[in-house]
Structure 1
Amino acid sequence: MKRVLLTSLILVGLMGCQDDVKNTTTAAAPKPVAPQADVNKIKAHIEFLADDLLEGRDTGSRGHEIAARYIASQFTQLNLKPAGDDGSYLQRIPFRQAFLEQDSPKLSLTTAEGTQQLEYPKEYITGASTVSENSAVEGKLVFVGYGIIAPELNHDDYADLDVDGKIVVMLTGKPKSFPSEEGAHFASRYEKARYAAEHGAIGMITISTPLGEKVRPYQNLLNYIHTPRVSWLDKEGNPHGAFPQIKDSAYFSKEAAAKLFAGAQKSLDDIYAELEDDKSPKGFALDASINMSKTSTHKAISSPNVAAVLTGSDPELRKEFVVYSAHSDHIGIAKTVKKDKINNGAMDNATGTAMLIETARLMSQGPAPKRSVLFLAVTGEEKGLLGADYYAHNPTVPIKNIVADVNLDMPVLTYEFSDIIAFGANHSDLNDTVSQAAKNAGLTLSPDPMPEQAIFTRSDHYAFVKQGVPSVFVIPGWTSTDPNVDGGKMFNEFLHTNYHKPSDDMSQDFNWNAAKKFAEVNLEIGTTIANQTKRPAWNQGDFFGDTFTKK
């Protein structure tokens, strides 16, 4: 009797289990609830990184070192895999700081009117050399227009000019006809120096234009003459990106620049008139020569990137990586401010770094994405995107396996936004990916509101772009949820009032709802990229994709 009863009970139980299985397979699976960003955690990160204790997190400073260790400790708590040197989270970078001896610059100009000494810094400025402590060059001058070679745009300022062994004189900037972002690439300091060096020039003189003087008046440049130049060093101890054959360079005021063209076939005013007519001035030899020299002092420093990996769940796709990047450095202590001298860098870029950490926390809480995700806090952004450039040249994961970079730099969190901006999204199919991710977060993706600024070429993601990696630079959009608030105006108010000033601190009116929203949309962006079937691809015929994709 007991055995029959027990058997009956077992059968009934099994039938019930089968019903449960049927119900489980036919009912719609509940949609996973996305983890929520923690405002208090974000605020705590920003408060620590922007504290006076860190003295503005200058590259190579003790304050930045503290910031790097703090970020590493957060990655440790999240149980992320170290992706720095020797099993650590830190990637140590050797740098060379170069300081100009302010009483050392000498420059004599010889024209048909005779030889005259130009006064530093009243008539010209020059920077320290990271190549040599004693720099000197003497040579004849050749005007080379903008000093740009852009075959894609049918432009060659060096055509039919002999500059071998000579000093080139070039206009700052680029022709108005150039597309903004492509033009920013061709007109960069590095590219112009490369064009000159490849044609045998031994020195460079840059002169401003009327437009350039409006954007960056010569008088304003005098604020930076004490700022050291910094380069990262390669394995042979040489400064990366330098051209040793360019022995010296200088930037002339408008008044001094006019003297270069004394007795020439065209005056500086003639050249400026061509610019007003949207013409690109042709180069010619100048009846002039220059002898210039200076002394620099070198100092060896080091500063770390911080790198950590969340390993992907897919056996094959985990070999690929989505990178989140944010710079952890700022500009340190102001030398020309009398009271509060610490540039705390709360918005620039404690906010971006906090978003990096919080995104890592959110992503590590849920199911691991299919691809691996590399979280990278870089140093030296304020010195010329140096930490990101070093990593891109010395990656701790195979560069060919990095499928995308999502860069977080200076998200201005003073208003609640209803859209996001992803600079560079228009160059690849990341545009569709980021748009979908924004939609998933209840937001929209808006186009670049200031294309003339070429923001796509001006932050850490660009180091990855130059390695052929499709990338976006994400910030809160300019559309506020409050119709009485103009997001674009708020962004520009920050630029004019607090950017690169001691007032960029915690006294600003942070909107913590915006901080929460920005962390959560970044989680959506990274997760969407990491889980999609195909790796991101450049648009067909895109200039940046065609120029930098490795064959």
Structure 2
Amino acid sequence: MNKTLFGALACASTVLLGACQSTPPVSTTDFAKPTVNTNFIKAHMQFLASDALEGRAPGTPGLEAASQYIAAEFMKYGVQPAGENGTYEQRITFRKANLVQESPTFTLEQGDKTIEFTYPKDFITSQSMFEKDSAVSAELVFVGHGMVAPDFGIDDYAGLDVNGKIIVRVPGRHASLPNEVGQHLGSSTEIRKNAVSRGAVGMITVTTPEYEERRPYARSLNSLHQERMDWVNPAGETSRSSKQIRGTAYLPLHSAQKLFANAPVSLDDIYAQIAAKQAPKGFAMSAKATLTKSSTHVDITSPNVVGMVEGSDPVLKNEYVVFSAHHDHLGVRQSVEKDRINNGAMDNATGTATLLETARMFAALPVKPKRSVLFVAVTAEEKGLLGSDYFAKYPTVPAQAMVANVNLDMPLLTFDFSDVIAFGAEHSSMQGYVADAIEELGITLTPDPWPHMNLFTRSDHYSFVKQGIPSVFLMPGIKTHDKNVDSENILMNFLKTHYHSPTDDMNQPFNWTAAFNFAHVNFNIGYEVANADARPMWNAQSFFGQTFGKSYNLAKTEE
């Protein structure tokens, strides 16, 4: 640890110690719940979002310091270690892969015609997580969006043979699907899973006019040198990649037209179908592609930090309510700008600080709740929810013992909110716990106002959902006690100007009343669930409960 980093850690600890000494002890006679201390939250954020931690990227000294800090705070509060081997850590191996920029090739054969696409003008590709040198040559089959959803009567592979072939697909999803369901079924993970299970050996995605307008191909070129990262388990398996898919490509509009030049259905007709909200049908393309590339690999480690407050019931203490928050961020930006450190104050020093304060409050309870409460500061969220995905699949407690997840990610603590949005609550009985938790603060519950943003599938709670665990992701809402404040505009402005930027630092106008209420609400949710007679249950009509919650009893749908 360098001197600057050590000094920042010492300073933060001193601030916290002073705050601790100014707080009266919790009474053990009247069993009052501890009160949120916003000085604690602010002190945690000051350290976690400091320049000394250099943006907290996985595998860097900055994130290691953040992890050690969180573990030290757990220890100070009396939160028990719940990681591996009696420690607070669950150490994960991650593989970082980079594409050798001079290596990608793409050759298209259409009858007696051969076309050589040029990288990156005509296509881009991603690095292999497994091979130093990758090559695949196979016939092409168009599979529409590449989606499979039997419950909704969708099978884009119907009547197609893709075994040993390279699939070609267009992004997007069937318009008939509910938004959150469509986001899940249309995710890259599900699309790849469908292709692999049917024997495909490669995947080519061609853009559409709609996608080109939303995310121009030229902007994608800014990410050419971006590394990919994935966890590697002891068996050498990764979370998202497949050794079977040996070649991939993403094509802009001009290359896509060449690819479909001899296809039985023109690309313009396919685009017209999509514009009319019709799902295009698949077909063999009477063409062959050869894709090659080279990649470099480096393995690193980074920890999830796990602490526990043991429950008081002799039976229910063996069940766990899980609080999660990611403590990683983006690190140092590769640019010529003067400020290159992505401090991640809002994303996610706010959530991590709230998790620490919630852990302190549970540890300070004179009478602990019936169930145990687990606090998991996950790593590598910014790399694709990797730390939470690993923990949800390989938890440090029995998997079936985790009964609920409360996720803390990027709460916008800059205005005195009067409502909250509980993403995912409507899928399970967690909605009732949220309603009870906010009642005493006079806060209301607002349905998801941005379904098009698919926030339900974009944070760490979703890793727990996919393992069948009812989960909720809380955010300050779109209403405020101050009628002169446009809270929705504040959120959208943050996303436009500060999100994933060096300006997401402690110079933003934080509202500590909001920090108090947000921590209070999340503590209340966990406390309610931890003391409930029965574990949370999925709603019977929930797609996510039906898909992932088979090991749980489904709640009866209320008439």
Q: TM-score, normalised by structure 2?
A: 0.91
Q: Within 2, Cα distance between the matches of 1:461 and 1:383?
A: 15
C-alpha distance after superposition, 1:242-289 (max 9, x if no partner)? 221111111111111111100222221110101111110000111321
Question: Which residues in structure 2 correspond to 1:171-190 (within 5 Å)?
Answer: 171-190=170-189
**Length, aligned pairs only:** 522
Per the TM alignment, residue 197 of structure 1 is displaced from its structure 2 partner at its CA by: 1.1
Residue 433, structure 1, aligned to residue 433, structure 2: yes
Q: Which residue of 1 aligns with 2:362?
A: 363
CA distance in 1, matches of 2:336, 2:404: 40
Return the letter of the residue paired with 2:242: F
Point out the more displaced range, 304-313 or 101-110: 101-110
Greater gyration radius: 1
**Cα displacement (A) at 1:531:** 1.0
| Distance of aligned partners of 1:534 and 1:164 in 2 relative to their CA distance in 1, 3 Å threshold | same
Number of the residue aligned with 1:17:
none
The 5 Å alignment of 1:149-548 reads 149-366=148-365, 367-548=367-548
Equivalent in the alignment of 1:142: 141
Show structure 1 runs of 4+ deviating over 4 A. 30-33
In structure 1, the partner of 2:557 is: none
For 2:368, the aligned partner's letter is A
> Is the contact made by 1:56 and 1:343 (CA closer than 8 Å) also made in structure 2?
yes
User: Using the alignment, how far apart are the partners of 1:83 and 1:213 within structure 2?
Assistant: 46
| CA deviation after TM superposition for structure 1 residue 336, in Å | 3.0
- 8 Å contact 1:113–1:262 — kept in the other structure? no
Letter in 1 for 2:465: V
Show CA shifts across 1:46-101 (max 9, x none).
11011111111111111111110000000000111101111000110011111111
Q: Counterpart of 2:121 in structure 1: which amino acid?
A: K
CA distance in 2, matches of 1:55, 1:542: 41
Shift of 1:440: 2.3
Shift of 1:333: 1.1
On the 8 A contact 1:417/1:481 being kept in 2, the answer is yes
Identity across matched positions, percent: 52
Q: Shift of the alpha carbon at 1:36?
A: 2.0
Q: d(CA) in 2 for partners of 1:208 and 1:371?
A: 49
Tell me by how many angstroms 1:126 deviates: 1.0
C-alpha contact 1:131 1:239 (8 A) present in aligned 2: no
CA distance in 1: counterparts of 2:217 and 2:267, whole angstroms: 17
Matched to 2:432, the amino acid is: D
The letter for the 1-side match of 2:511 is N
Aligned to 2:86: 87
Letter in 2 for 1:459: S
Deviation at 1:222? 1.7
Alpha-carbon displacement from aligned partner over 1:383-442 (angstroms, at most 9, x marks no partner): 111101111111111111111000000001111101111100010011111011111232
> Could you say which residue in structure 1 is the equivalent of 2:48?
49
* SS class of match (1:449): coil
Say which is worse superposed, 345-354 or 260-269, in terms of deviation: 260-269
Specify every segment of 5 or more residues in structure 1 that has no aligned partner in the other structure, as ranges. Answer: 1-29
Specify whether residues 113 and 517 from structure 1 end up closer, same or farther in structure 2 by C-alpha distance, changes over 3 A only.
farther
For residue 209 of structure 1, report the CA deviation from its aligned partner: 2.2
Alpha-carbon offset, residue 33 of structure 1 = 4.3
Alignment gaps of 5+ in structure 2 = 1-28, 552-559
CA displacement, residues 364-390 of structure 1 (integer Å, 9 cap, x when unaligned): 222311111000000011111110111
Aligned-partner Cα distance in 2 for 1:398–1:490: 41
Q: 1:362 is paired with a residue of what secondary structure? A: helix
CA distance in 2 between partners of 1:32 and 1:418 (Å): 28
- TM-score (norm: length of structure 1): 0.93
Equivalent AA in structure 2 for residue 393 of structure 1: K
Alpha-carbon shift at residue 113 of structure 1 (Å): 7.3
User: What secondary structure sits across from 2:341 in the alignment?
Assistant: coil
Offset from partner CA, 1:199-230 (integer Å, 9 cap, x none): 11110001122332233222222222211111
Q: Distance in 1 between matches of 2:336 and 2:159?
A: 49
Counterpart Cα distance in 2 of 1:194 and 1:139: 19
CA distance in 1, matches of 2:117, 2:66: 44
- Residue 387 of structure 1 aligns to a residue whose secondary structure is helix
CA contact (8 A) 1:145 1:280 kept: yes
1:31 and 1:223, CA in 2 relative to 1: closer, same or farther beyond 3 A?
farther
Q: Judge conservation of contact 1:180–1:453 (CA < 8 Å) in 2.
A: no
What is the alpha-carbon distance in structure 1 between the residues aligned to residue 353 and residue 442 of structure 2?
A: 22
Do 1:84 and 1:306's aligned partners in 2 also have CA atoms closer than 8 Å? yes
Q: 2:63 is matched with which residue?
A: 64
Instruction: Pick which of 342-351 and 30-39 moved more.
Output: 30-39
- In 1, Cα distance between equivalents of 2:231 and 2:179: 28
- What one-letter code is carried by the residue in structure 2 that aligns with 1:259? K
CA shift for structure 1 position 111:
2.2
Matched-pair contact (CA < 8 Å) for 1:112–1:262: no
Query: What residue identity is the alignment partner of 1:51?
Result: S
Which residue of the partner structure matches residue 7 of structure 2?
Answer: none
The amino acid of 1:368's aligned partner reads K
Amino acid at match of 2:540: Q
> Higher mean Cα deviation, 109-118 or 289-298?
109-118
Query: How many angstroms apart in 2 are the aligned matches of 1:514 and 1:301?
Result: 37
Residues 81 and 310 in structure 1, CA contact (< 8 A), matched pair in contact too: yes
Q: Partner amino acid for 1:67?
A: A
| In structure 1, C-alpha distance between the alignment counterparts of 2:483 and 2:412, rounded to whole Å | 18
Counterpart residue identity of residue 412, structure 1: L
